[in-house]
Amino acid sequence: MQIDLVALIVDEYDPAIAFFTGVLGFDLVEDSPSLTTDGMPKRWVVVRPPGAQTGLLLARADGDHQSAAVGRQTAGRVGFFLRVDDFDTTYERMTTAGVTFVRPPRTESYGRVAVFLDIAGNRWDLLGPAR
């Protein structure tokens, strides 16, 4: 068993795809036309870190209730965790690309960590090995 996808509510598909692929370096696994349960057009958009099994389903907000959840899917807590082999290089690349870090890098028993915001405003941990 494995978790295949986690839905991430976004305002619009294309800026989210650009952020996850261009800034974070994820692969665009799928971008296919689809329909909502009431027949409205949508897209099935999946991004995934290279080599990862679990991906994100980028889901465009549909209606006021979902729009209100954009950037607050985990109520302001860190809800997503991106583990990398080379923390310092990744942190520098992300900083140069304009990613907002809300907590600077620090060393914990489990490794290096810094908190950043995705394009929607959700909090992520960037995690790397301990020095």
Decide: helix, strand or coil at residue 31.
strand
Question: Which band of pLDDT confidence, cut at 50, 70 and 90, is reported for residue 40?
Answer: confident
Considering only residues 41 and 64, tell me which one the structure prediction assigns the higher pLDDT.
Answer: 64
CATH homologous superfamily for 73-131? 2,3-Dihydroxybiphenyl 1,2-Dioxygenase, domain 1 (3.10.180.10)
- Distance, in Å, from the CA atom of 109 to the CA atom of 70, rounded to the nearest integer, reads 32
Residue 8: the pLDDT is 97
- Distance, in Å, from the CA atom of 99 to the CA atom of 119, rounded to the nearest integer, reads 8
Average model confidence (pLDDT) across the chain: 95
Q: What would the pLDDT profile of 42-97 be if each residue is shown by its tens digit?
A: 899 999 999 999 999 999 998 899 999 999 999 999 999 999 999 999 999 999 99
CATH 3.10.180.10 intervals, the chain: 1-70, 73-131
Task: Supply the CATH classification number for the domain 1-70.
Answer: 3.10.180.10
Residue 76 is given by DSSP the state T
Percent of the chain with pLDDT over 70: 100
The answer to whether the pTM exceeds 0.85 is yes
The stretches of the chain forming alpha helices (DSSP H) are 13-17, 64-69, 87-96
Residue 84: the pLDDT is 96
